[in-house]
Amino acid sequence: MATKKTARAAGKKTAVAKKSAKKSAARTIGYTTSNVFPEHSIKEVWAAAVEAKHLKKHFVDDMRGEFGKDLKPVGWYWKAWDWLTITPRVFKKHEQIVWDATGMDGKSKITVTFDFLVKEDKTIFRISEAGYAADDLKSAFMMCEGWTEFHCGVKAYLMDGLVLNK
């Protein structure tokens, strides 16, 4: 009898371990990077971060379309990486843009969110990404680094007209 109880207990532990492994495999991670723009209005930060006439000066080599309430696709182009098509699913002017992207692993569905807000008379621009597989820290950190560079580029462009990526 003791052998059957031990076997049952071991079986239960194995089943629990398998369930835990499945749960952790399904978990996802995300991050938020942000920058504060104390000297610029939300409209100025929005324009520098979203509008083609500004993005083509400091971020992309070319751009097709503009973000708008019609939620039409927008294309960003870099000579080194080719075109990226962004199809927004949320657009709130001077407030938020949300779109879905495919992760660097080619499988993960990533949600990208640009948030613009004013707090204590300072404009805050946040970029969040969510949906990375829990074990895909490398991709999440690489994209976080890229969006942090984007924030720095927007700030340098607004503050001093500097273009960091050219």
pLDDT digits (tens, 9 = 90+) for 43-88: 999 999 999 999 999 999 999 999 999 999 999 999 998 999 999 9
User: What is the predicted pLDDT for the residue at 164?
Assistant: 74
For residue 85, which of 70, 99, 97 has the smallest C-alpha distance?
A: 99
Output the CA torsion 107→137→151→52 (10° steps).
Answer: -10
Any idea what DSSP says for residue 67?
-
Q: Which residue has better confidence, 50 or 16?
A: 50
pTM: 0.82
| Token digits of residue 43 | 């409209």
| Token digits of residue 15 | 């089943």
| Residue located via tokens 């971060």 | 49
Q: What angle do CA 158, 35, 111 make, to 5 degrees?
A: 110
Give 81-108 pLDDT, tens digit per residue: 899 999 999 999 999 999 999 888 888 8
